[in-house]
Structure 1
């Protein structure tokens, strides 16, 4: 399964989206344009605009407001990635030096703010107030998720319930917003829009579960970040939570001590083996499959179409992806 196959029903529309997105990234400030071109060169997988466009096509027709919605979420996503790199003190993004690594934290924060403002202004300019409501709710949830993660990482009470609250807000909220925005751009039926919203929520949770698995299984040359990065940063994700819960107390306490004390590369490989040995990988994979099955149920009743087929393929891609 690959993305080029999934985007076939919206291939032309994605090219149209790129024009809108590029236009909204640019400014009269030379430094900002230099950085915008640097970001555009890296071009990610465009999963979020793909979700907007496919969701619109599933329930109706892609139109001008659909392109605005796709540009809005990609501007917001780009802003959050830039801000995340500052917060995480990360020097790499998609295999390239991060914005903060090249231009410093101050410029990175301001660039992120600019992209967020551009997205909101795009909706205001076209009086797409429903888009603003959906997006603002997503930004609120993303911020709450980040803060809950910071709060929880300072204690030892990190459990599955807290973990799922965090990933639901941090990751699933924006993916859910993509599907909701796409549906809202092509339909006024609240029931249909809500179905796409919940499809995206479950897909987003599975997406993050797979992302957390890649920290234990991924190839850094493919993922663009070093394997074990979450461990090094002290992030406690589901594979580790499960392994800690199902291992001897003495061993789990030793692992927690490693994580909280700047683990070396040798320590990271020890933790990866620990998680594999105590079932953290298999358990997380099983839970991700359950969330993808839930996601599929929200669109299963829609009429057969290339857009529906692509959305169902995308759920499989989420589970199989290696980056």
Structure 2
């Protein structure tokens, strides 16, 4: 499987131009804000979301100026939600960098998130990109609802498999879905094609999240600390499946451990061992492959070419990565 830089090659010039658009779109005349947004730009990551936008546009008619604005809009609104999430989660690190709230405290972090949301709205409204704004705003709404649904259910440890899929469809998959839909819309695609690309992105997003959830119970060095979701009392698919296979007494014991582990490594390891003994990770990987196949089935309705190949490689990268 090619690395991310290899996958990016056909749209490398567009990604480079996007970086400038994104940077310019965050500019502020307020010195403190400008300093913080420059700090954010440095944490660009793998740029998976813009890649989905550009490849989707390329597949559906071609990359336009609207595509560049769509990619910047997605990134602005997503970055705003991350800044707010770090405040909610009391997180002091993201991608190896200190979070905004760690460096500038919660009040400033919340205001920076609000500023980024406003800049995203202005970028779209000032350029009459109402369709793109509708697509991305719908994703942000779903992400918020998914997060609240998870918080509500985690408190009660009352999460079924169906509810798990509802949460990750809203919380994670909606964003990748909006990237693909925005890319298609920016290329002038009709509503049916935009919806097809949105559904493709949703399938990829669900597969991506299932894969991410399996890392919590892995036995290899996967780049994500084992048991991090357990520490946060998140109930994910491998654990749900294992609990459903367990006897009533064992299920009760494990739920009690999840609720009251006090970050003790021995207790967390017991939960990991339980999930692996019940083949929770194996089951989750099977489900992930089902969603991966559904994504490919949608994608293969489009004409073969550089854009489709790029999206195929992105799907493989997101679902077969090691970390």
- CA contact under 8 A between 2:172 and 2:209: conserved in structure 1? yes
Q: Which residue of 2 aligns with 1:313?
A: 313
How does the TM-score come out when normalised to structure 1?
0.95
CA distance in 2, matches of 1:220, 1:29: 43
Q: Which residue of 1 aligns with 2:70?
A: 69
**Per the alignment, do residues 55 and 161 of structure 1 end up closer, same or farther by CA in structure 2, a change over 3 Å counting?**
same
CA distance in 2, matches of 1:315, 1:139: 22
Q: Which residue of 2 aligns with 1:299?
A: 299
User: How far apart are 1:312 and its partner, in Å?
Assistant: 0.8
CA distance in 2, matches of 1:321, 1:198: 22
Does residue 242 of the first structure (1) align with residue 241 of the second (2)?
Answer: yes
Q: Which residue of 2 aligns with 1:186?
A: 187
CA distance in 2, matches of 1:244, 1:208: 19
Does residue 141 of the first structure (1) align with residue 142 of the second (2)?
Answer: yes
Does residue 164 of the first structure (1) align with residue 165 of the second (2)?
Answer: yes
User: How far apart are 1:284 and its partner, in Å?
Assistant: 0.7
Q: Which residue of 2 aligns with 1:115?
A: 116
Following superposition of structure 1 onto structure 2, how do residues 266-285 of structure 1 map, counting pairs within 5 Å?
Answer: 266-285=266-285
**Per the alignment, do residues 27 and 221 of structure 1 end up closer, same or farther by CA in structure 2, a change over 3 Å counting?**
farther
Q: Which residue of 2 aligns with 1:254?
A: 253
Total equivalences in the alignment: 321
**Per the alignment, do residues 218 and 182 of structure 1 end up closer, same or farther by CA in structure 2, a change over 3 Å counting?**
farther
More off after superposition, 1-10 vs 121-130: 1-10
Q: Give 3-state SS (helix, strand or coil) of 1:7's partner.
A: helix
CA distance in 2, matches of 1:221, 1:25: 34
More off after superposition, 198-207 vs 83-92: 83-92
Q: Which residue of 1 aligns with 2:227?
A: 228
User: How far apart are 1:79 and its partner, in Å?
Assistant: 1.2
Unmatched segments (≥5 aa) in structure 2: none
- For 1:38-77, what per-residue CA distance to the aligned partner results, in whole angstroms no more than 9, with x for missing partners? 2222221111110000000011111100000000001111
- CA contact under 8 A between 2:157 and 2:235: conserved in structure 1? no
Q: Give 3-state SS (helix, strand or coil) of 1:227's partner.
A: coil
Unmatched segments (≥5 aa) in structure 1: none
User: How far apart are 1:155 and its partner, in Å?
Assistant: 1.5
Q: Give 3-state SS (helix, strand or coil) of 2:28's partner.
A: coil
CA distance in 2, matches of 1:218, 1:116: 39
User: How far apart are 1:119 and its partner, in Å?
Assistant: 1.0
- For 1:142-181, what per-residue CA distance to the aligned partner results, in whole angstroms no more than 9, with x for missing partners? 1111111111112132101111110000011111000000
CA distance in 2, matches of 1:322, 1:34: 34
- CA contact under 8 A between 1:219 and 1:227: conserved in structure 2? no
**Per the alignment, do residues 219 and 24 of structure 1 end up closer, same or farther by CA in structure 2, a change over 3 Å counting?**
farther
CA distance in 2, matches of 1:220, 1:34: 36
CA distance in 1, matches of 2:146, 2:235: 14
How does the TM-score come out when normalised to structure 2?
0.95
User: How far apart are 1:194 and its partner, in Å?
Assistant: 1.3
- CA contact under 8 A between 1:302 and 1:308: conserved in structure 2? yes
